[in-house]
Amino acid sequence: MSSSTVEFAKMNGLGNKILVVDMRGRTDKVTPAAAIALNADGETQFDQIMAIHDPKAHGTDAFIDILNSDGSKAQACGNGTRCVVQALSAETGKKVFTFQTVAGILNAVEHEDGTISVDMGKPIFEWDRIPLAEEFYDTSRIELQIGPIDNPVLHSPSAMSMGNPHAVFWVNKDVMSYDLVRFGPLLENHPMFPERANITLAEVTSDSSLRTRTWERGAGLTLACGSAACAAAVSAARTGRTGRTVKIDVASSPVRQPLIIEWRDDDHVVMTGPAEWEWSGTVDPTTGSWSRDAEQGAETR
């Protein structure tokens, strides 16, 4: 490995496409140009890059810098955090981790069955901290709709921050039946959301289970989004649709394993689910040029 390249792994969390890039021991960062180049390649296309940096705060294992596929910064990524845990656990044998992100501290643990729990912190409901462009006393149902005014396709979402802005639209039919590719960009970039937002469609499938589909801020239609699953679970409990622990079927994901979301009594939201390693290689964090490890079939881009 040359001094200009670093190790990285192609992974996924419930199908959420993740690149885990090892930036420890360096002072530079993965550039937006590198992210855009990596996402343009079908082999390395991703939803988020999780760049692992040396710890900045005492008592933490690493600082994680998160990039979306359009090169923009993300504050939180639950599925990506599980991938980081699996990668570092395989390297070190540790099972319990504390990470720092721009959104705050994340605690995570890998269980004996291989699933990983991440404490995603406390949800934020105050309109100006989500943030929203207009003041709402109750953000469990804000005034926003798509479609004809007398028969909207989507309306009255719950809004919150899970370290990043979310809007959850509750629907009464299959979440896959909606044209989220059409509506997603309009809602992500709606003037209501000055920092854009993750847009999730959610349906209640039982008093303890949900089905979701997400258009992810800065990444587009995604197979899974952990922080969006947390937002949906919190919104469901907050609006009386379910209790505080739910199983979430992420409708777009090819992995038929639910996420378990628990909104604990201390207000913290804990997400439990799988992570999967696919392959590894080296990458130039400045340009995005990469090569696959030789034992997995040499390939350079």
Determine which one of 67, 85, 103, 225 is catalytic.
Answer: 225
The reply to whether 83 belongs to the active site is no
Beta strand spans in 56-95 (E): 62-68, 73-74
For the chain, the residue count is 301
Instruction: Give Cβ neighbours of residue 165 (< 8 Å, ≥ 6 apart).
Output: 130, 131, 159, 193, 195, 196, 197, 198, 217
CA–CA separation, 155 and 146 (whole Å): 6
Instruction: Please answer whether residues 209 and 240 qualify as being in contact, where contact means their C-beta atoms are separated by less than 8 angstroms.
Output: no
What token pair was written down for 263?
A: 């909104």
Determine which one of 20, 38, 67, 77 is catalytic.
Answer: 77
The reply to whether 225 belongs to the active site is yes
CA–CA separation, 158 and 149 (whole Å): 19
- Please provide the DSSP assignment of 30-95 as one string: --HHHHHHHHHSTTT--SEEEEEE---STT-SEEEEEEETTS-EES--HHHHHHHHHHHHHHH---
Taking CA atoms, 270 is separated from 119, 198, 260, 300, in Å, by 4, 19, 8, 39
Query: Which residues have a catalytic role annotated?
Result: 77, 225
